[in-house]
Amino acid sequence: MSNDVRVWVNGQRVDAGAPSIAALDHGVTVGDGVFETAKVADGAVFALTRHSRRLDRSLAGLGLPAADHDLIAKGIEDVLSGEPIAFGRLRWSVTGGAGPLGSDRDESALTYIVTAGAQPLPPASCKVVTVPWTRNERSATVGLKTTSYAENVVALAYAKERGGLEAIFANTRGELCEGTGSNVFVVVDGEVLTPPVESGLLPGITRGLVIEWCREAGIPVREATLPMDLLTTADEVFITSSTKDVLPVHAVDGRELPVGPVTQAAADVFARLSRERNDP
């Protein structure tokens, strides 16, 4: 619930339910902003440096000024102070600040928002649902983590109506792309495959670490252009995200799958190394 979320805006801790940004903030009127979500475990933020770097890439991609990371750090310290969050998420957003009602920008100060809150641990495995909409691999915002998330909201609702935890998109070429807030991996003949950045996906922090750490552990992983219908024949499927880590998929639409040994090995490697390397 919102009352359980700790909120900090532009240098000040605020009540989660109280008004705290301008009605004409460009993040509200046109979704002109970026954000990051990181896992919090026992009060510590995982992979903070990688998330901060991606925030900078997203801001640059939107043509917004560089973020004040010292200010963000103060917000993070504020929302994580007090009772440690055993498991949850930290989110920090940077918007274009106050602007006109249209898509033009004014030269105004950026808006900074930092929030944190507890959430349930992910399940042992999940069902995913393919959706009839596509990711546009030629979009102006491809690869950027922007606050314009309406299509993800629609797709996730579609998946949940069908018993899924996550929705999976193809791109406009009919290639496997990504989930609403996750990246997707398949296992074929013992090899882990995942779509390349060129498919139009957002390169997840967990995705990158899974690729690196599985290779380090001797698990074969390859980025490859994959047909969407590979989900109907792959031996194993799993998804990754900042708060789901490596999450096995036990069903794709109406097809049931095993939680196989390669997925389990990838999950074990990620769990072990993420405990040892909190800011890899």
Which of the listed residues 84, 118, 152 is the one where a domain comes to its end? Answer: 118
- What is the tens place of the pLDDT at every residue in 184-208? 999 999 999 999 999 999 999 999 9
- CATH code, domain carrying 71: 3.30.470.10
For the chain, how many structural domains are there in total? 2
Dihedral (CA of 139, 147, 212, 229) sign: negative
**Mean pLDDT, rounded, of the chain:** 96
Residue 1 is predicted with a pLDDT of 44
- What is the tens place of the pLDDT at every residue in 53-78? 999 999 999 999 999 999 999 999 99
- What is the tens place of the pLDDT at every residue in 108-125? 899 999 999 999 999 999
Rounded CA separation 163/158 (Å) = 9
Residue 106 is predicted with a pLDDT of 83
* 246 and 200, same domain (yes or no): yes
* 76 and 197, same domain (yes or no): no
- What is the tens place of the pLDDT at every residue in 33-60? 999 999 999 999 999 999 999 999 999 9
* 265 and 134, same domain (yes or no): yes
Section 151-161 average pLDDT = 98
126, pLDDT greater than 60: yes
* 109 and 228, same domain (yes or no): no
* 82 and 180, same domain (yes or no): no
* 217 and 144, same domain (yes or no): yes
- CATH code, domain carrying 185: 3.20.10.10
134, pLDDT greater than 60: yes
State the residue range of the domain holding 113: 5-118
Packing angle, helices 48-62 and 69-79, rounded to 10: 130
Residue 237 is predicted with a pLDDT of 98
Report yes or no: 99 and 24 within 8 Å, Cβ to Cβ: yes
pLDDT-above-70 percentage for the chain: 99
Residue 51 is predicted with a pLDDT of 98
Rounded CA separation 25/239 (Å) = 34
147, pLDDT greater than 50: yes
The three-state DSSP-derived secondary structure of the chain is CHHHCEEEECCEEECCCCCCCCCCEHHHHCCCEEEEEEEEECCEECCHHHHHHHHHHHHHHHCCCCCCHHHHHHHHHHHCCCCCCCEEEEEEEEECCECCCCCCCCCCCCEEEEEEEECCCCCCCEEEEEEEEEECCCCCCCCCCECCCHHHHHHHHHHHHCCCCEEEEEECCCEEEEECCCEEEEEECCEEEECCHHHCCCCCHHHHHHHHHHHHCCCCEEECCCEHHHHHCCCEEEEEECCCEEEEEEEECCEECCCCHHHHHHHHHHHHHHHHCCCC
Residue 117 is predicted with a pLDDT of 97
Residue 2 is predicted with a pLDDT of 53
Which of the listed residues 90, 118, 146 is the one where a domain comes to its end? Answer: 118
Which of the listed residues 118, 144, 162 is the one where a domain comes to its end? Answer: 118
For the entire predicted model, the pTM comes to 0.95
